[in-house]
Structure formats: structure tokens, C-alpha cells
Amino acid sequence: MTILAEPPPHTDTLAHNHQQCVDDALKIADQLCTERGVQLTAIRQQVLALIWESHKAVKAYELLDRIKPLQAAAKPATIYRALDFLLAQGLIHRVESLNAFVGCSCSGHQHEQLLLICKQCEQVEERMAAGVMQVLAEEFRQAGFSAHSKAIEVHGLCRRCSQL
């Protein structure tokens, strides 16, 4: 499997180009779906693009409201089917504590996630945090616990908001 360069992580600069994040995410999604023999339909592309328009978690019904001008016939099931596909392909993450979704910045490979969620600006930053995940894996091993997936969500203030 070929892995394209990952979309840039969240930056705190006002000059951050979200359109570049959208373009990169769509390019990676197109490549991965082609390699996997699955179809990235127009609605799936539109939902993915809407998720990547910012680095904030977005709820399904917000996506529905935003996609209506593009797809007048869109229904909740339309959005949920697209979200299920994007989740299954590893192109987005579900932020369980917010019941919302964010783009995955490492779509090219399986990984565990640490999500840093700013309670002020609502930005979500995905971190690899390999050391943290290794410590957790050791704790699970010692407990005899078999984890099927690991996602850690931490709420607080991002660097920019904590400096304000």
C-alpha cells in the first residue's frame, strides 16, 4: 500500500490553510479507496471535505445541515452511511465524548489515537503518542485485558488558548 504524505497537523497560526487540509485529505482518501477497491462516492467526498473544513469535531446533524445546499435530498441516513464508510476506511475518527467526528491525520495506517480537545476553541488535535500507548498496552497485559481498540480523549486548553 502506498501512503501519501499525511495532512499537516493542526497549527495555531491564523494563516493556516484549511483548504489545503481538505485537498490533502481528499487526495489520500481517493488513493486509499482505489487501493482497497472501495468507492469514494460524491456524498462521501462531500462529508469528508466538510469534516476537514476545520479541526473542530462536527456532529452528524451539523453535517446534514451543511450538506443540504449541496445535496437537497440528503437525509440523516445519508450522512450516517457516509460516516460509517469513512470510519470503516479509517479516514475519520469518532470523538465519543462529543458524539462528533474529526478527520484522521494518519489515514494510511492502523493506529491508536490520542485526541486533545480544546474546550475553548473546540479544536481537536490528533497525536500518535506512541509512548503513552505502549504504557497502556503494558498495563493491559499485566491486567490480562484484551483491548480491541484504544482511543484517549483529553479535554483542556490548547497551546493558543492557554496563552490568551
List, as one string, the DSSP characters of the chain: ---PPPPPPP---TT--HHHHHHHHHHHHHHHHHHHT----HHHHHHHHHHHTSSB-B-HHHHHHHHTTT-TT--HHHHHHHHHHHHHTTSEEEEGGGTEEEE-TTTTS---EEEEEETTT-BEEEE--HHHHHHHHHHHHHHT---S--EEEEEE--HHHHT-
Q: Is 33 annotated as a binding residue?
A: no
Residue 121 is part of a domain; what is its CATH number?
1.10.10.10
Q: Residue 9: inside a domain, yes or no?
A: no
Task: Specify the pLDDT at position 78.
Answer: 94
**121 labelled ligand-binding:** yes
Q: Report if residue 4 sits inside a domain.
A: no
pLDDT the model gives residue 85 = 97
Model pLDDT, residue 14: 54
pLDDT of residue 15: 63
Total domains present in the chain? 1
CA dist., res. 36 & res. 32, Å (int): 6
pLDDT of residue 148: 83
Within-domain flag for 5: no
Q: Is residue 137 part of a domain?
A: yes
pLDDT beneath 70, residues of the chain: 1-15
pLDDT at position 29: 95
pLDDT for residue 92 = 95
116-141 in b/e form (b: 16+ CB < 10 A) is bbbeebbbbbbeebeeebeebeeeee
Q: Which candidate, 3, 1, 85, 14, places its Cα nearest to that of 51?
A: 85
Q: In which domain, by residue range, is 40 found?
A: 18-162
Residue 65 falls inside a structural domain: yes
pLDDT for res 6: 37
Question: Given this model, what pLDDT does residue 61 score?
Answer: 96
For 163, the grid coordinates are 496563552
User: Does residue 7 form part of some domain?
Assistant: no
Residue 8 covered by a domain: no
129 close to 106: Cβ distance less than 8 angstroms: no
Report pLDDT for 116. 95
Task: Evaluate whether residue 2 is within a structural domain.
Answer: no
Q: What is the reported pLDDT for 120?
A: 95
Give pLDDT, residue 11: 45
> Which of 41, 101, 24 has its CA nearest to residue 66?
101
